[in-house]
Amino acid sequence: MALRSSVSFLRFHALRSSSRLLSTHTRPEVQQNGKKIAEFPGAKAPYVTEMKILNESSYEPIPIYRVLDSNGEVLINTEEPNLDKEVLLNMYRSMVQLNQMDKILYESQRQGRISFYMTNYGEEGMHLGSAAALTPQDLVFAQYREVGVLLYRGMTMTELVNQCYGNHEDPGKGRHMPVHYGSKQLNIVTISSPLATQMPQAVGAAYAFKRTPNNDRCVICYFGEGAASEGDAFAAFNFAATLECPVILFCRNNGYAISTPSSEQYRGDGIAARGPSMGIHTIRVDGTDTLAVYNAVTKAREIALKNKPVLIEAMSYRVGHHSTSDDSTAYRSLEEIQKWTTDENPVQKFRLYLERKGLWNEEAENALVKDSRNFIVRTMQEAEKKKKPHWKEMFEDVYYDKPFQLQKQMQEMEEHLKKYGKHYPLDSFQKE
Amino acid sequence: MNGIVKQKIFVSRYLFKNVNHFMKRMSSHFTFFPDDHKPIEGDTTKMNMMQAINNAMDITLKTDSSAVLFGEDVAFGGVFRCALGLQEKYGNDRVFNTPLCEQGIAGFGIGLATAGATAIAEIQFADYIFPAFDQLVNEAAKCRYRSGGQFDCGGLTVRAPCGAVGHGGLYHSQSPEAYFSHAPGLKVVVPRGPISAKGLLLACLKERDPCIFLEPKILYRAAAEEVPTDSYEIPLGKAQVLREGDAATLIGWGTQVHVLLEVAQMAQETLGISCEVIDLMSILPWDEETVCNSVKKTGRCLVAHEAPLTSGFGAELAATVQSECFLHLEAPVARVTGWDAPFPHVFEPFYLPDKMRCLGALEKLLNY
């Protein structure tokens, strides 16, 4: 009996091996370093007999890629990107303009001339390094602190200032808070305040691009390390990987989410460590180093266009307050801020690099600062004088067509204003 | 061996003997009234609602190369079989599974639509749409408005099975339409059977605004009609008068329409009065004109829905009817709805606004 069953077992075994040989289905390796690989559908891994519990220090921290040192000197020559003089100067000019715009608009909020503002201090290198590595067709999903990207793309300071004032020249028609920019023409999706919501959306847009024939467009999605704690961030990482989307997920890790330091935001090795765990190509870069960011995004774009998502974590420091509604000295020291303003300042680093190459000097700097300042002050004065859009714009674009209920409500408002108009600021709004 | 045979015989005898009892216990709380009006001329095929929805998606995938269908378990046909055969027909880059994450599904769909594609997203049960609430209310609904019309996600339609199913308990029975009715920018639609499901879904998929399409899951198989095989659309934002009358206006949507049709029939037979029955179909924006014209004619209005009473969509209808038809109303607007409790498991027969509760309320309305 025992013999018979072992013979039939052998027969069965032989049959199974031959059918396996003939089959085109490839099976994973069943051995790894002499250890047997388990065949659970959820993971392909070897069995071990030693119990080992992993924690955040089981792995080396992901290193920070750098091209320039703090003095703007290239560390290894082969890593220096081959960028045109004009491109380099455009990048730098955008940084200076951005700084000047931040300074003046921040002050104007303090004077009550605009309702709200958020500066970009300390993060200029990430903006310009990444923007220069993309093509104008690549779609940008931003969080709110990426104005350098928008400037480099070609959004004019006039457009940006109009948005902050919500005047009739704002393409968003004054409906959104300041700094919520967007431009269809420049492929910049309008910013919204809810954090991380743009992340799975960026992945969806990338999927749509992937399906177009001969696709050469990718999507870049910016988000802060605080936003990365939202559920939408996890959704985006996982969808991007499993659905193989041409998307670059660009994290600006500036150490703070309003008052919350990153030590209270996560306990792992930053955001970058989450990338490989989700099957995403990942790199961590020095976000104060414009050239390192440029290199990383250039490479990421190449990988993304093969429908493999890439996560970039750019390390930096939020030098300014979170917004005009925040006083950051309530939760961090002036010395700490000072260190990042002077020693690791991305604008200064990039400027020193350009000076070393003989592309920039004190004179050019002063002229540009003065020009930018004057231009912004003038633009603001003009923007301030421009009327806000007609109040009826409040009822447009809710839907493609205005539903009956909304038509009725608009009429109601019209009748109300006929009688009580003098109690409303109608003079600063456009008339029919 | 003998024991098993005996037991089998016993079980089948028991089943046979008590078939009526089981039918009564497991059967739904309504009788399906098929549509007698055909929206277009031409060939028809007998379809249940699941097949009609499948057919609408099939037509869209065939005619619109940008259209994709995705969600949890749609690749093998979906847990309710609405996507049956579509992956084999259109490929796995157009009909595919996503990770199990509703906020991801909604966000991903918004992104596809922002890039110009037609996105058909499936949420497995309407009860599980709440993780996607932020994406739908803060993002999808406001996309066009906040960008000044530069961007929109009109190509997005989110389909979700909703409503009572006999034994769904708390999380397989909900009707969340009122939550979304408070979000300007969304369109919310509920069909009552195969013909309306196909026409309304095709309209949602072509619509330039994001749509939430709630499918009463009890109708997937229960309801069968002769559905036109060609493509056709039923306009969004329009209600349908299914039965004309002058004694009272009964308003409902989804499965509840069939309950109200039966109530109207019972009222005709037992009370000798004729009620007007309206299927609202579009919850947002809704057809104020059809509803108010009807109430002005009948002077009495009863709204019924499965969702709880407080802040249910019936409240919106009642408030508008009283402000628009005040001088015509002979009685306060009646609302017959689910109770203000979570949707219970074993108490479902007592929870639902069934025909007897509707009839009771109608009698009170008439005797007011």
The active-site residue, picked from A183, A262, A316, A323, is A323
The C-alpha atoms of residue A282 and residue A296 are separated, in whole angstroms, by 10
Nearest-Cα residue of chain B relative to residue A393: B148
On average, the pLDDT of chain B sits at 94
The C-alpha atoms of residue B289 and residue B276 are separated, in whole angstroms, by 15
pLDDT at B9: 53
Q: Is B328 a catalytic residue?
A: no
Give B46-108 as a DSSP string: EEEHHHHHHHHHHHHHHH-TT-EEEETTTTTT-TTSTTTTHHHHH-TTTEEE--S-HHHHHHH
From chain B, pick out residues whose CB is under 8 angstroms from the CB of A395.
none
pLDDT at A13: 53
pLDDT at A339: 86
Kindly state the average pLDDT of the residues B152-158: 98
Query: Which band of pLDDT confidence, cut at 50, 70 and 90, is reported for residue B130?
Result: very high
Q: What is the pTM of this model?
A: 0.92
A203 with B187: Cβ contact below 8 A: no
Q: Is A18 a catalytic residue?
A: no
Nearest-Cα residue of chain A relative to residue B71: A239
> Does residue B136 have a pLDDT over 60?
yes
CB A181 within 8 A of CB A140: no
pLDDT < 50 regions, chain A = 1-3, 7, 9-10, 17, 20-29
Among the partner residues B111, B148, B152, nearest to A201 by beta-carbon distance: B111
pLDDT at A56: 84
Beta-bridge mates of residue A250: A222, A312
Mutate to test the interface with A, among B64, B108, B112 (most CBs of A within 10 A): B108
Of B241, B302, B311, B236, the residue nearest B267 (C-alpha)? B302
Global ipTM: 0.92
Q: Among residues of chain A, what percentage have pLDDT more than 70?
A: 92
pLDDT tens profile A39-80: 899 999 999 999 999 988 899 999 999 999 999 999 999 999
Of B359, B344, B13, B47, the residue nearest B197 (C-alpha)? B47
| Closest-CA distance of chain B to residue A30, Å | 27
Beta-bridge mates of residue B4: none
pLDDT at A93: 97
B35-39, B195-199, B204-208: lowest mean pLDDT where? Answer: B35-39
The C-alpha atoms of residue B57 and residue A145 are separated, in whole angstroms, by 40
pLDDT tens profile A322-344: 998 899 999 999 988 988 888 89
From chain A, pick out residues whose CB is under 8 angstroms from the CB of B148.
170-173, 175, 397
pLDDT at B22: 44
Q: Which two tokens stand for residue A195?
A: 């954090």
A208 with B66: Cβ contact below 8 A: yes
pLDDT tens profile A109-156: 999 999 999 999 999 999 999 999 999 999 999 999 999 999 999 999
pLDDT tens profile B257-299: 999 999 999 999 999 999 999 999 999 999 999 999 999 999 9
Sorted by sequence, the CB contacts under 8 Å of residue A233 that are 6+ apart come out as: A196, A199, A223, A227
Q: How big, in percent rounded to 5, are the helix, strand and coil portions of chain A?
A: 45, 10, 45
